Chain A
Amino acid sequence: MLKTLRQIASIGIATEPPPQADESLRIREGLKDRIRAVLGRALCIRHIDAGSCNGCELEIHALNNPVYNIEGLGIRFVASPRHADLLLVTGPVSKHMELALRRTYEATPDPKLVVALGDCGCTGGIFGENYASLGPVSNVIPVDVAVPGCPPSPTRILQGILAALARTSDKKARSVSAHLNTPG
């Protein structure tokens, strides 16, 4: 126990302070503000591997490490699509995962956001389309944001999530105005 405490004390807080560069600063601060403004609570993400080579998954894991500390930003990965605001999908979408992906999408409550991750999720990548691969995620479900990269870095993934959040406000605004315009 003493060793554990000593290790914790000697490492201190590994989470990086907001970086100097404006671009990175905007992501972190912007993200927090937007989440509060738009969702008013934690953003919940459900990850689906729809056919990935598992490279993208390694960088998704990195988001949870103390350096990126995505939970510290109010973002959480959840176990069920029913708890999720956003689906983070890696691909290419294999024919065998098509049904599971569609069902996961259907199980996610509105306004559901979809971020397609990695070159394969965006375009089919090196695998392309064939008898067993349907190519990009957008061939199967609607995609809000596509983050290229092989694999994209954790920072790029965060940028994609931010871009998706910007879309949420549009979607919510649309759905509110549709509601207001409904007669009666």
Chain B
Amino acid sequence: MALQAWFARSEAHPGAPGLRCLALSHQEWRPVAQDLAAAGARLLALWASGNRTAPRVHAAFLTDQAGLVVSVPLSHADAPYPGIEDLFAAAARMQRSMADLSGVRSSDPDTRPWLRHAAWPRSYLPLVDHPLAPDPETALDPYEFVRVEGEGVHEIAVGPVHAGTIEPGHFRFSVVGEKVLRLEERLGYVHKGIEQRFTQIPILEAHRLAARVSGDSAVAYSWAYCQALEGLAGAEVPARAAWLRGLYLELERIANHLGDLGALGNDAGFAFGLAQFSRLKELLLRANHQALGQRYLLEAVVPGGTQRDLTGTGASVLRACLLQIEHEVRTLRAIYDEHEGVRDRFNGAGTVSADLALRLGLIGLAGRASGQAFDLRIDLPCDPYRQLAPAKVVRTEGDVAARVAVRFDELYESCRFVQRILEALPAGPHVAHVPAPGDGATGAGLIEGWRGPVFVALEAGPSGSIRRCHPQDPSWQNWPVLEHAIIGNIVPDFPLINKSFNLSYSGHDL
């Protein structure tokens, strides 16, 4: 069946614009996935719901024109369902996590646990069984890394505690001399039971937890969560609220890009860059604090709108701050571009070709640096992006330099976008009432965070509770690609290459 036929059978899904949903039979699951893969769709999310007797598998895909959320009932909880790792490389770790958390197993060959490191008994299913207190017994889970063998090959094990102020994860390098033959990641160290925690928080309050799935993407997550909630509760968001959310999302993007551009300069041995960009980031955070009452916008997006309104004074503070930032970033970019040492480290490091990016499903910012020209703000826009679309930034080189260039260009676009929002912010209320949704209602939110598309699937439970909430970070798709990006590079370039992706551990480990 062609893709159109599946879409013809689908219905509009509450929440983010452009999302369709489709209930499938067990037999239709592989054919749909095959058709989507053949059409070049990306796998956005994969999760399970239900109980031990009636589990369901859900997936969300993105084509260039729409998003498709499918759900499949499984005939037996114990029998494996057909895996889709051969069609979507990003599915592998998602399927392993579903086995760890929900007990549904795929037919794909890699059956190693992914998010479970023996912190809880294998028989315990956190997303199916009742909440459990932490088990006082701590045992190290034996984990089989893939061994690279041959003359002169040795392994370097790094982490989970790293040398800098970054999140924990383990990297196993197989190297010859300084050259990396293979990198294998092991993540899950900051798994803290977020999906189970969602079911213990009232549905009208859980946007606060969503904001803390990955603190650097607080606006993207809390907005995606609220989009899903407002969709399934049938609530309208006032125009002013939508515009303010757009403002916050771009402020978050600018802050993160400033931080990364400084850190990338530093990792290339140019400490001047870190000093300059971190100073600009501090200016922005202080303007945020002055205009919006918070340095980081963890509380800014609430169901129905925004926590507070923006005053005229606040708008002037942001406007002046962003004018200065944009002006100075242009100067700094010229310095980066002309600095031979920086250019030498950036160019050709950690290259992901457009072809590989397509095959592995690289998305978001890193995807746009490797020719994957997809940006939700332009391709599946919600308000205010429908009215004020930023220009899409795409590069094809796929190296550190390209990921730096995308950040610079997106930063300019976001500054321009924010100025336009501040000029034309619609009048009216900044928040509307959201009624408690009915039991069983489902919705999904989808927001282009600074790192890439942030997806949140939500199912309401009885009396204002959450039955299931699944957040999916773009890091799920991009972490496996980092393993490819480092191949053939030297070990000392890893921090630079890793930083150029700057993926989330917390958003991935949940």
B438 within 8 A of A: no
Per-residue A-contact encoding for B130-153, CB less than 8 Å = 1, 0 else: 011111001010000000000000
Q: Compute how far the CA of A129 lies from the CA of B509 in the bound complex, rounded to whole angstroms.
A: 16
Interface residues on B, range: 35 or more
Q: Compute how far the CA of A61 lies from the CA of B339 in the bound complex, rounded to whole angstroms.
A: 25
Contact with B138, one of A48, A79, A95, A132 (Cβ below 8 angstroms): A95
Residues of A contacting B509 in the complex (Cβ-Cβ under 8 angstroms): 94
- Cβ-defined contact, B188 with A96, below 8 A: yes
- Given A60-B165, A127-B197, A53 and B212 touching (CB < 8 A)? yes
**Closest Cβ neighbor of B129 among chain A residues:** A131
Residues of B contacting A66 in the complex (Cβ-Cβ under 8 angstroms): 275, 278-279
A62 within 8 A of B: yes
Main SS at interface, chain B:
loop
Q: How far is the CB of A63 from chain B (nearest CB, A)?
A: 9
Q: Compute how far the CA of A98 lies from the CA of B296 in the bound complex, rounded to whole angstroms.
A: 28
- 8 Å CB contacts to B: which residues of A13-58? 14, 47-58
Identify which of A62, A126, A131 gathers the most chain B CB atoms within 10 Å of its CB. Answer: A131
- Cβ-defined contact, B193 with A133, below 8 A: yes
Contact with A131, one of B117, B193, B275 (Cβ below 8 angstroms): B193
Per-residue B-contact encoding for A100-127, CB less than 8 Å = 1, 0 else: 1000100000000000000000000111
- Cβ-defined contact, A49 with B190, below 8 A: yes
A175 within 8 A of B: no
Residues of A contacting B505 in the complex (Cβ-Cβ under 8 angstroms): 49, 54
What is the total number of residues of chain A having a CB less than 8 Å from a CB of chain B? 52
Q: Compute how far the CA of A126 lies from the CA of B167 in the bound complex, rounded to whole angstroms.
A: 19
- Given A126-B208, A131-B119, A132-B119, A94 and B190 touching (CB < 8 A)? yes
Q: How far is the CB of A122 from chain B (nearest CB, A)?
A: 15
**Closest Cβ neighbor of A45 among chain B residues:** B165
B4 within 8 A of A: no
- Cβ-defined contact, A129 with B133, below 8 A: yes
Residues of B contacting A3 in the complex (Cβ-Cβ under 8 angstroms): 331, 334-335, 338
Q: Compute how far the CA of A65 lies from the CA of B338 in the bound complex, rounded to whole angstroms.
A: 24
Q: Compute how far the CA of A133 lies from the CA of B509 in the bound complex, rounded to whole angstroms.
A: 12
A sample of 5 cross-chain residue pairs with beta-carbon separation below 8 angstroms, ordered by A number, consists of A48-B168, A49-B167, A55-B215, A58-B216, A59-B295
Given contacts A55-B218, A66-B279, A131-B126, 16 further A-B contacts (CB under 8 A): A3-B338, A7-B335, A50-B168, A52-B215, A52-B506, A58-B216, A64-B274, A68-B282, A96-B189, A100-B168, A126-B212, A129-B133, A130-B131, A130-B193, A131-B124, A132-B119
